[in-house]
């Protein structure tokens, strides 16, 4: 890994662990094993480096989600693959956690990749659910957009509950519950 990548990866880790305000240039440099000159050679400052780190995190989150969204199967199977994939639940969602960071949310440039990624996930879920409804896999009365928002809210809320309890159990319960609701709206389940 080159110096620029080490700086970005170190910033990603620190943003997830400490938030923007707790991520100092010195801490980034120490973790990346890079000097101040190297940091400022590649980035104009902490905001520029934080933006690169947030963008990379957003790209990674989208790629992981797309891997599950693209698997063959029904809409419910694809959503289940996404919700049940392996996660570091107790650390929380690396993008979702940034919404709790007032410094990131106050800066339109830093906030943009967070907003874009969260909107992208909701839109992908919406399109998968709409596909499922069109193919007769889901009840025609089911609103794909509202259901996608609910699924994503439960996922993000599951992270919060797990972190508060210091246990993955609340997360697993939330995911099991929302999948139960989704499965209950399949025509085969209601017959």
pLDDT level of residue 191 (50, 70, 90 thresholds): very low
Instruction: Read off the pLDDT of residues 71-95 as tens digits, 9 standing for 90 and up.
Output: 999 999 999 999 999 999 999 999 9
Q: Residue 21 has which token pair?
A: 């305000």
Domain spanning 57-190: CATH 1.10.357.10: yes
For the CA atoms of 186, 73, 78, 12, the dihedral, rounded to the nearest 10 degrees, stands at 180
pLDDT level of residue 17 (50, 70, 90 thresholds): confident
Determine the Cα–Cα distance for residues 84 and 78; give it in Å rounded to an integer: 10
Task: Count CA within 13 A, CB hemisphere, residue 27.
Answer: 16
* Domain ranges across the chain: 57-190
């Amino acid at each position: 890994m080159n110096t620029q990548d080490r700086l970005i990866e170190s910033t990603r880790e620190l943003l997830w662990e400490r938030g923007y305000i707790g991520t100092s240039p010195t801490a980034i440099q120490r973790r990346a094993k890079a000097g101040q000159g190297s940091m400022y050679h590649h980035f104009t400052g902490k905001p520029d480096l934080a933006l690169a780190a947030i963008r990379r995190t957003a790209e990674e989150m989208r790629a992981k989600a797309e891997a599950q969204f693209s698997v063959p199967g029904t809409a419910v199977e694809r959503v289940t693959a996404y919700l049940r994939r392996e996660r570091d639940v107790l650390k929380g969602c690396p993008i979702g956690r940034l919404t709790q960071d007032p410094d990131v949310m106050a800066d339109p440039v830093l906030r943009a990749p967070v907003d874009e990624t969260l909107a992208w996930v909701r839109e992908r879920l919406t399109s998968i659910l709409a596909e499922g409804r069109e193919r007769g896999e889901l009840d025609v009365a089911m609103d794909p957009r509202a259901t996608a928002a609910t699924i994503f809210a439960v996922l993000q809320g599951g992270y919060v509950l797990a972190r508060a309890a210091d246990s993955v159990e609340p997360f697993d319960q939330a995911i099991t519950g929302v999948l139960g609701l989704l499965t209950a709206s399949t025509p085969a389940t209601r017959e």
